[in-house]
Amino acid sequence: MSSWDNNPVLTIEHLTMRFGGLVAVDDLSFNVGRGDITALIGPNGAGKTTVFNCVTGFYKPTEGRVVMNRSNGEHYLLERMPDFQISARAKVARTFQNIRLFGGMTLLENLMVAQHNPLMVASGYSVAGIFGLSSFRSAEREAVDKARYWLEKTALIDRADAPAADLPYGDQRRLEIARAMCSGPELLCLDEPAAGLNPKESAELNSLLQYIRKEHDTSILLIEHDMSVVMEISDHVVVLDYGEKISDGTAPEVKDDPKVIAAYLGVPDEEVDAVEEEVGI
Ligand SMILES: Nc1ncnc2c1ncn2[C@@H]1O[C@H](COP(=O)(O)OP(=O)(O)OP(=O)(O)O)[C@@H](O)[C@H]1O
């Protein structure tokens, strides 16, 4: 049995998502190991983002189960929960393929908004906040400390008071990760975190993700097209093609799987050898 099957933080069972006649995800099952960095890869249109949307409550799957197994022993059936509870109670956070920050707000404000739920609770849904009661003030201080901590870890602290829209692209990507981490997730889902990054920024991203996994006991599930990132940091790689799982293993196992090579080259399995020879790989 693979390590990710022994102690999964997320269990996906027979997940199917149909859009009319199109089957975007077809009877997909896999586990995300606790403490692992798991990559979900596959050619364009394979169904990766649809899986993310089912895990994070943006879509309700047509069939199947998505179970979050929290470290305190609680289990959550994510397909039955509204998305705000998936973040607040099941402790799953995500970033998006297209960056979604509040461009007009400062970096610090973006990270404070991410902590809106605990702050609202501490404010007694505004009464304590309005009267400046100490319970609210201490919750607010904690939220600022947490925001500053993640700005430091993502090397953005010097620009804490700048508008998010003024940041270069690579910095905005890191700010999105900082924002997701402010909700204290046990599972962090990242949709193409390395898209648009230069090699230096990609290397910094790798270090950041390894730090998050090691120091914060946060498991990571990422969709990524940049194979240098996938191969370097993933403990476990799941490959989708046309909504179906075609390979599932460690990065070296998956890299050498003829089915994966065939899917990426867009040819049938039996033609892989010939095409590889032709293109010299
Ligand atoms: N809301 C939707 N309505 C209809 N079809 C959809 C919807 N979302 C996704 N699809 C279709 O489902 C299939 C899988 O799309 P998805 O975005 O999950 O793939 P992907 O692997 O993330 O692709 P990419 O790598 O290009 O982002 C595609 O054919 C897509 O057009």
Q: What is the pLDDT of residues 148-188, one digit of tens each?
A: 999 999 999 999 999 999 999 889 999 999 999 999 999 99
pLDDT in tens, 224-237: 988 888 999 999 99
Which of 41, 50, 58 maximizes ligand 1 atoms within 8 Å of its Cβ, making it the mutation to test the pocket? Answer: 50
pLDDT in tens, 87-145: 889 999 998 777 778 888 899 999 988 776 665 555 555 555 555 556 657 777 888 89
pLDDT in tens, 44-86: 899 999 999 999 999 999 999 999 999 999 999 999 998 888 9
Q: Output the CA 50–ligand 1 centroid distance in Å.
A: 6
Q: Are 76 and 185 in contact (CB under 8 A)?
A: no
Q: How far apart are CA 105 and CA 228, in angstroms?
A: 33
- What is the pLDDT, as a whole number, of residue 123? 54
Q: Mean pLDDT throughout 245-260?
A: 91
- Measured by CA distance, the residue closest to atom 3 of ligand 1 is 19
Q: Mean pLDDT throughout 33-45?
A: 94
- What is the pLDDT, as a whole number, of residue 41? 94
Q: Closest ligand 1 atom, CA of 59?
A: 1
Q: Which residues line ligand 1 (CB under 6 A)?
A: 19, 22, 24, 42, 44-50
Q: Closest ligand 1 atom, CA of 51?
A: 18
Q: What's the whole-model pTM score? A: 0.87
- Measured by CA distance, the residue closest to atom 29 of ligand 1 is 45
Q: Output the CA 62–ligand 1 centroid distance in Å.
A: 15
Which of 35-49, 125-139, 192-206 shows the lowest mean pLDDT across its residues? 125-139
- Measured by CA distance, the residue closest to atom 6 of ligand 1 is 19
Q: Are 196 and 170 in contact (CB under 8 A)?
A: yes
Q: Mean pLDDT throughout 6-26?
A: 97
Q: Output the CA 240–ligand 1 centroid distance in Å.
A: 12
Q: Output the CA 17–ligand 1 centroid distance in Å.
A: 10
- What is the pLDDT, as a whole number, of residue 132? 59
- What is the pLDDT, as a whole number, of residue 256? 86
Q: How far apart are CA 7 and CA 3, in angstroms?
A: 7
Q: How far apart are CA 182 and CA 112, in angstroms?
A: 8
